Structure 1
Amino acid sequence: MKNVGEAQEAPMGAPQEELATGIRSDRSTRNRVARSILDHGPSTVADLAGRLGLTQAAVRRHLDALVADDVVVAREQRVYGARTRGRPAKVFALTDCGRDAFDQSYDKLAADAIRWIQERPGGDEAVVAFARARIAAQAEAYRAAVEGAPPGGRTAALAKALSADGYAATARSAPLPQQGEQLCQHHCPVAHVAEQFPQLCEAETEMFSQLLGTHVQRLATIAHGDGVCTTFIPQSNVKYSKNTPKTDTNASARTAGRNPA
């Protein structure tokens, strides 16, 4: 991740050691700002200042540098319900470049391997089978967490388990008039591959449905160009069952709308 303009912040004539210390400090703080956006999704200056214990002026200074480096981008915050007076707050989200700074996946190798599978007998069906087999192995680690949680805490338990795998996931109440929860993944280690092979997203959505024992709907995906992968989990009295039918996720994965954050 670049760090534009750091050297200019030190006073003229500062000793070389002091200058280097200031640059390291700025780099560390700038990375904390970017990491906070990764973990929590698009954020306002006030959000970041509160989470990081910084002044809003300091946050703005670091965000200006991150915007200049194409690590974050500013956009208007989406507002639900009655709009209050004044312009909506500005939020800052990671760009693809910013996500790449945290992503150590071998994207090209993975994409080449899946493409090789697709070109063999079975074609797209073979890719779907691969995606489901891959996600089934992950699901075993999540199943114990979900089944061990109370009915009202299963989405949060799944989010915690996903975070342990690098997805920086959170659970929150869905905005009205929806009745239910949203599972938000602020990072996707395979986003660049999933952009080419949406079967990965579809298999993951199926897995969420099976683990939570209810129909779920994918609203947005990072692979589709959204800021956060968002899955809607409606309120349900359906108990978890290994025999719960798989949800039809193909349409929702392909037509995901923009993330509300």
Structure 2
Amino acid sequence: MAAITPGLAGHKGLRGEILLELKRAQPLTANELADVFRVSANAIRRHLKELEAEGLVLYERQQRGTGAPTHSFRLSPSGEALFPTRYGEALTDVLAFIAQHNGREAVREMFAHQFRAEAERLRVELAEASLEDKVAAVVDLLSRQGFMAAWSVEQDTLKLAQHNCAVRAAAEQFPEICAAEVDFLRAVLDTHVQRDAYIPDGCNACEYSITLADISGSPAADNGQSREES
């Protein structure tokens, strides 16, 4: 399902779309971007050259299979900075202060409390919703918070991806934020959720697999295994 993506001030049209696509799936070649947008590779290269001149993209030579090396493009630090962040260094400083004076457990409990309250609100709001509708609601919430979330269905599993970490600076120092997010997803969706990729580890997105099952109150919930819906 399509992500709800942020607007990039000053970068509309194809230039803005190139930046968004690089955020989702970097590194990408000009030919790969041309395939995505169904325009010529030369048109893409012109935009990439302009974005490089502005300091928003970088390129590197990559060897992909046989043949000559190709240029792959990714966002520069300035390009990454175009995407939403929530509080940035201020949040990190506040968390460091709390950890120093009250311990890391206080940081964990603060985020656990925040996510529990949000999860309870959504559980009430989505009590009669299907799992797919619950995931769509979570994706909408995360996207409005700047996480560029999207979801899709692959066989018996739902996939949720966050292509931007709006609290990355804090999350890299305080993984308690990310642990609380996983618990939040499990509480709202009431099924097994597994994290498959993690932005602080260098991945392009934080990705989750969501089993199409309801483990609430089932025997499988006691032994950590989910059961499929009939």
Same fold (TM over 0.5): yes
Distance apart, 1:167 and its partner CA: 1.3
Q: For 1:41 and 1:143, how far apart are their aligned partners in 2? A: 32
Alignment-mate amino acid for residue 189 of structure 1: A
Deviation at residue 115 of structure 1 after TM alignment: 0.5
Judged with a 3 Å threshold, the aligned counterparts in structure 2 of structure 1 residues 53 and 194 are, in CA distance, closer, same or farther, namely same
| SS of the residue 1:230 aligns to | strand
Shift of 1:199: 0.6
Q: How many residues align?
A: 210
In structure 1, C-alpha distance between the alignment counterparts of 2:25 and 2:116, rounded to whole Å: 27
Question: Going by fraction, where is strand more abundant, 1 or 2?
Answer: 2
Does the aligned pair in 2 maintain the 1:146–1:158 contact within 8 Å?
A: no
Q: 1:108 aligns with which of 83, 86, 89?
A: 89
Distance 1:97 1:131 in 2: 29
Q: Report the aligned-residue RMSD.
A: 3.9
The DSSP-based 3-state class of the residue aligned with 2:15 is helix
Alignment counterpart, residue 219 of structure 1, candidates 184, 196, 212: 196
User: What's the secondary structure of 1:120's corresponding residue?
Assistant: helix
Bigger RCO of structures 1 and 2 (CA < 8 A, at least 6 apart): 2
Letter in 2 for 1:231: Y
Report Cα offsets for 1:210-233 as digits up to 9, x if no partner: 111122111222223211111111
Q: Distance in 1 between matches of 2:211 and 2:71?
A: 29
1:71 is the counterpart of 2:57: yes
Query: Is contact 1:70–1:98 with CA below 8 Å preserved after alignment?
Result: yes
**Which residue, out of 116, 119, 136, partners 1:156?**
136
Which residue is 1:58 aligned to?
A: 43
Cα displacement string for residues 113-145 of structure 1 (whole angstroms, at most 9, x for unaligned residues): 001110113x11111011212333443564466
Instruction: Measure how far apart 1:207 and its partner are.
Output: 0.4
Unpaired runs of 5+ residues, structure 2, are: 1-9, 225-230
Equivalent pair of 2:135/2:151 in contact (CA under 8 Å): yes
Change (3 A) 1:67 1:146: farther
Corresponding residue for 1:132?
112
Q: Give unpaired runs (5+ residues) of structure 1.
A: 1-24, 79-83, 248-261
